[in-house]
Structure formats: structure tokens, C-alpha cells
Amino acid sequence: MADPLLQVVDLFCERDDRVLFEHLSFNVFPGEILQVEGQNGSGKTTLLRILSGLSRHYEGDILWRGTSVTDSADVFRRELLYFGHQAGVKAVLTPEENLAWYAALDSGIDLKQIPKALHAVGLTGFEDVPCHMLSAGQNRRVSLARLYISRAPLWILDEPFTAIDKKGVATKEALLLEHASRGGTVLLTTHHELDLSRHVRRINLDELSGT
């Protein structure tokens, strides 16, 4: 069996005097899709932000390719794509410029893929419109378009199917499967019932915390 890409070791997190999770340990291997489940308030988003390096309010260790992410932060960030509740786009830039800016962080990304990515998320005709003139849903699609050009092996996605129609959901599911088939890893939360031929492993924070 291949070595795990991501290892979570004895993770503990407390918020507002309430323990969200403790003694949380798991490994994620190349080609896996791991869904984090739990009731609202169970800590799903908090966990994904911790794993993405956006929150340091935890105890325990997180290892990427066998090395603590605190010791290899630059390498880890280059190999990570995080998609959160906020669109995370620059409002003064157009969708095309936002993706070009993202691509500049990774010289290996082919800029010729940007029009295809925007078409895939339904933004054909809006490529040159400043993002502050687009709807919240369209801005979220700009952020989602990064999945189509990303070379990052680790995708951490918080509710990526929000405000997407049935056809769009099927397209994104196919994209997750393609990423996993190439040896990539996906961690996600979603209220959507995934319809994936590949087995999806699940971790339920309610069960782990005893709530």
C-alpha cells in the first residue's frame, strides 16, 4: 500500500469552551475521497480550515508526505487547493484575470486551460466582466474554476456543490473522480448525497466526539 499523503495525529480543538473534537487521527491516501460529516456546529468547517493551515487553534500534529506541515508550510501550500465558503476572488479583476493570478502561483499551469475552465463552470461570456459586477453565485463559480486548472494533489473543499444545478453537480462529481484517478486526494464536506462510482470514505465528527 502507498504511504499516506496526509496524516492527522491526535487532533484536539476547542471553541467557545466546547470541545469540537479530540483524539482525532486518520490517514488519507493517494486516490482517496474522504467526506467529513456531522451536524451543523460539529466542527466540519473548522477541521478543514485547520487542515488547510488557515487556523492554528488546535493541538496535535498534521503531516504532509510524512513531514509536519509546520516544518514544510511552503511546500504544503503549493500542493494544496482550498475551496471555502467565501469565493476568495479579487473583485477588481475579471474571472479570466483571477484565474491567471492563481496560475501565476504555479508556473506549471497552462494558461490556455483558463477559457475551458470558465466554460466548464458556466461563465462563458463573463470572462472579461469585473467580478464585483457578478453575482455571489457567479463569483463562487470563478473560485470553482480553479479545480479545472489546478495541479495540486490535495483538494480540501467545503460545500463545493452549493448553488449548483443538477447538471453542474454531475460535472463536479466527475471532476473529483478524475482527480482521484490520477492519484490526487479530496477532503470535502457536503450536504449533497454523493453519487460516485469510486468508494467514498467517511468520517463522522458527531460519532468521534460522542455527540
Query: What is the predicted pLDDT for the residue at 169?
Result: 84
SS3 10: strand
Write the single-letter amino acid at 31: G
**Orientation of helix 136-144 relative to helix 95-104, angle to 10°:** 30
Element holding 63 (H helix, E strand): strand 59-64
pLDDT at 196: 77
CA atoms within 13 A on the CB side of 6: 27
Domain boundary assignment for the chain: 83-151
CB of 86 closer than 8 Å to CB of 45? no
Yes or no: say if 36 and 186 are a contact pair by the CB < 8 Å rule.
no
Question: For position 208, what pLDDT does the model report?
Answer: 67
The pTM of the whole model exceeds 0.85: yes
Contacts 24+ apart (CB under 8 A), 111-114: 113/148, 113/149, 114/145, 114/149
Q: pLDDT 10s digit of each residue in the chain, 211 long? A: 689 999 999 999 998 889 999 999 999 999 999 999 999 989 999 999 999 999 999 999 999 999 999 999 999 999 999 999 887 899 999 999 999 999 988 767 889 999 999 999 999 999 999 999 999 989 999 999 999 999 999 999 999 988 777 888 888 899 999 999 999 999 999 988 887 766 789 999 988 654 3
